[in-house]
Structure 1
Amino acid sequence: MKYKGKIYKKIILLGNSGSGKSWTAQRMGSKTGYPVIYLDKECWQPGWNYPPEEEWQEKNRAFIQGSEWIIDGNHHETLQMRIEAADLILFFDINRLLCMYRVWKRHGHKRIDLPEYLEEKRDKEFFRFLKWIWQFPEKCNPGILAMREKYQDKDFLIFHSRKDAEIFLEQIEG
């Protein structure tokens, strides 16, 4: 993928749930032909269970071995290895109220970024998830921005709106 005269082959998308990561990743994949890896789809097992830690680490190591990829998702326990392998990091720093609205609206619909066997319910866990979305800017943004400081050799773009992502998508060349 070419963007502003530079070639990128390994791209990660980070940000709050409902921020537009999967929407953007899908469009980037269509435009570039790069495989898109949705971490939530790869991670979550039946009953919303997390895989064993070593298995999940190994899966992530396998993802980053490819020569071209787009990886959508935070999963902070494997973030450093993905940032080290990436040549472009896209950070979606979107208003948390908008993120919560989008998650509420999409809830229960088929999603490209989740396994088909998972069922979303508006239950106690869903409301805990909304609380996590609300707290994301305070709890997660500092860690993501710290990675930006640590890996200053990596290109790092911040999107504050869907329009920012749309402009980016218009400017990339497959």
Structure 2
Amino acid sequence: MKIAVIGYSGSGKSTLAATLGKQLSIPVLHLDAINFEAGWVERNREEAKALVADFLQHESWIIDGNYGELYFNERLTDADRIILFQFSRVRCLIRVLRRYQMYKGQTRPDLAENCPEKIDAEFLFWVLFKGRSRRRRNHFKQITQQYTDKIVVLKSPWAVKQFLSQDKF
């Protein structure tokens, strides 16, 4: 089983990926933990791409994150299931604030070591506006149209619970 988890920041991609990884005994790669753009880890683009390329060689995998430069199209093509999180702006903001409170000054399990949880105006602007640009929304819409046979769109925590209660993913 190969699962790509994509969607808006703060919606719960990493949490679901970790949960599915445990339930299905499949290795999980959190792209936030290796991404060169996030500013948490000093890693060049080629190193990050090599890590993802190696991970894609696993027989089964779960990869969470968008990051177009990190084999995005290949992940979607190879995936048996694509899970798209489309939670509302407000829901994502609330989740980001809760996450910050929970991990303030600590490193989340889905981030690289020594990368304490942080929050700033730029990230909040991303969660509420920039990360939901018309271009991004259209991109997600195109993905749902292109991969109709293997995509699941989750728009609320209730939908996630329903999805996890199924025997098949």
TM-score w.r.t. length of structure 1: 0.82
Corresponding residue for 1:114?
111
Name the count of aligned residue pairs.
Answer: 162
Q: Please give the alpha-carbon distance, in whole angstroms, between the structure 2 residues aligned to 1:91 and 1:128.
A: 24
Distance 1:51 1:81, change over 3 A: farther
Alignment of 1:48 onto 2:48: no
Q: Which runs of 5+ in 2 are unaligned?
A: none
2:154 to 159, 163, 167: 159
User: Which residues of 2 match residues 16-55 of structure 1 at below 5 A?
Assistant: 16-43=8-35, 48-49=40-41, 51-55=43-47
2:144 to 139, 144, 148: 148
Corresponding residue for 1:10?
2
Q: Please give the alpha-carbon distance, in whole angstroms, between the structure 2 residues aligned to 1:46 and 1:168.
A: 29
Which whole-Å deviations, capped at 9, do the CAs of 1:63-105 have from their partners, x for residues lacking one?
1111101111111222112112111100000011110111112
User: Comparing 24-33 with 109-118, which one deviates more in the overlay?
Assistant: 109-118
Which whole-Å deviations, capped at 9, do the CAs of 1:3-31 have from their partners, x for residues lacking one?
xxxxxx00011111210111211211111
Q: Please give the alpha-carbon distance, in whole angstroms, between the structure 2 residues aligned to 1:94 and 1:50.
A: 30
Corresponding residue for 1:66?
58
Q: Which runs of 5+ in 1 are unaligned?
A: 1-8
Which whole-Å deviations, capped at 9, do the CAs of 1:24-47 have from their partners, x for residues lacking one?
112111111111111111225995
Distance 1:173 1:81, change over 3 A: closer
| AA partner of residue 141 (structure 2) | L
Q: Work out which structure has the larger RCO, using CA pairs closer than 8 Å and 6 or more positions apart in sequence.
A: 1
Q: Please give the alpha-carbon distance, in whole angstroms, between the structure 1 residues aligned to 2:32 and 2:50.
A: 15
DSSP-derived class of the 1:77 partner: coil
1:100 to 93, 112, 131: 93
DSSP-derived class of the 1:172 partner: coil
1:75 to 45, 67, 74: 67
Q: Please give the alpha-carbon distance, in whole angstroms, between the structure 1 residues aligned to 2:34 and 2:41.
A: 12
Identity of counterpart residues, as a percentage?
32
Q: Please give the alpha-carbon distance, in whole angstroms, between the structure 2 residues aligned to 1:157 and 1:91.
A: 6
Contact preservation (8 Å) 1:31, 1:173: no
